[in-house]
Copies of this chain bind each other. A is one copy, B any other.
Amino acid sequence: MDHAHRAYCQNVSPGGDIIICTRREEDWVPLTDEWDRLSCWRTNCFKMGINTVMIMAVLLGVSLTPSLTTQAGLSEKVLVFPYETDFSFVALIPQKEMGLRAFTLCMRVATELPEERQIILFAYRTADYDELNVWREKDGRVSFYLSGDGVFFHLPPLSTFRSSLCLTWESRTGLTAFWVEGKRSTYQVYKPGHSIRPKGTILLGQDPDKHLGGLEATQSFVGEMTDVNMWDFVLSRSMIQAWHYGHKVPKGNIFDWGTIEYELSGNVLVVDDD
């Protein structure tokens, strides 16, 4: 039993979607009488003294597929990853298969993490490949990987205030760019002719290990994410700018934040976006 990953958790919302954990017993403050105090090992939490109902994500060393109830729709909601963990993530279930030869991925993101810290922003992995990863690198650059060496961009730094970030890529030409607050970076040519493989797992908050098991706390996302949308084509400049300003755009046909299917795992809060 790994005491370093012990945690004391309780449910603080009637809907069951806000679970507060502390790492140290002495920090534990009872907030509700709805549930008993819970004891957790890694992300497995049990009601103590009653029965051993598992309430949080099953993230055994050999599986990346959470066994949680799938929920849908995050309109006007923000995901808060409150501290560094190797067990908190949100799995996203796409509306259509991820075999892609072009895409647009957009999100709004804010973080307090220091500049020199690596941060996973988006991870899509099939059995053998890191199919599509977006990172904030240790040197502050933002990077994009399609199963192999990545491509790096100098963008304005992520900060405690929300940044709007899009990424576009098209296989035919390899043209790829990030869009920050609706403004396009310089194009780079990256993996023309490549195809992204289907039938993988999409995570926010953690980078799944190359093979099986362990997630690394030092790569985890800490902060807020909202409005994650994905299309299987490249949006025009005017569409990306419209999205940035919150205007109406064609709904993401891979993910649409308003109807997105997702599974929460570990300590991730879903809060109103006021």
Task: Determine, out of A38-46, A129-137, A187-195, A254-262, the stretch whose residues face the partner at the interface.
Answer: A187-195
A262–B208 alpha-carbon span in the complex (Å): 48
CB of A114 to closest CB in B, whole Å: 8
CB of A188 to closest CB in B, whole Å: 6
With contacts A173-B269, A274-B237 taken as known, whether A161 is within 8 angstroms of B189 at the C-beta atoms is: no
Contact of A111 among B155, B183, B184, B186 (CB under 8 A): B186
Chain B residue nearest in CB terms to A193? B29
**A239-272 Cβ-contact flags toward B at 8 Å (1 or 0):** 0000000000000000000000000000001010
Residues of B within 8 A of A274 (CB): 236-237
Within 8 Å of chain B (Cβ to Cβ): is A174?
yes
A172–B237 alpha-carbon span in the complex (Å): 42
Whether A12 and B172, one on each chain, are in contact in the complex, defined by CB atoms closer than 8 angstroms, is yes
Whether B269 and A112, one on each chain, are in contact in the complex, defined by CB atoms closer than 8 angstroms, is no
Whether A183 and B155, one on each chain, are in contact in the complex, defined by CB atoms closer than 8 angstroms, is no
Within 8 Å of chain B (Cβ to Cβ): is A86?
no
- With A20-B173, A186-B224 known, 6 other A-B pairs at CB within 8 A are A12-B172, A82-B187, A154-B160, A160-B185, A161-B180, A187-B269
17 A-B contacts (beta carbon < 8 Å):
A12-B173, A12-B192, A18-B173, A20-B173, A20-B192, A29-B193, A31-B172, A31-B193, A80-B175, A80-B187, A80-B189, A82-B187, A83-B189, A154-B160, A160-B186, A186-B224, A187-B271
Using a CB–CB distance below 8 Å, which chain A residues touch chain B?
12, 18, 20, 29-31, 78, 80, 82-83, 110-112, 114, 152-155, 159-162, 172-175, 178, 180, 183-189, 191-194, 223-224, 236-237, 269, 271, 274
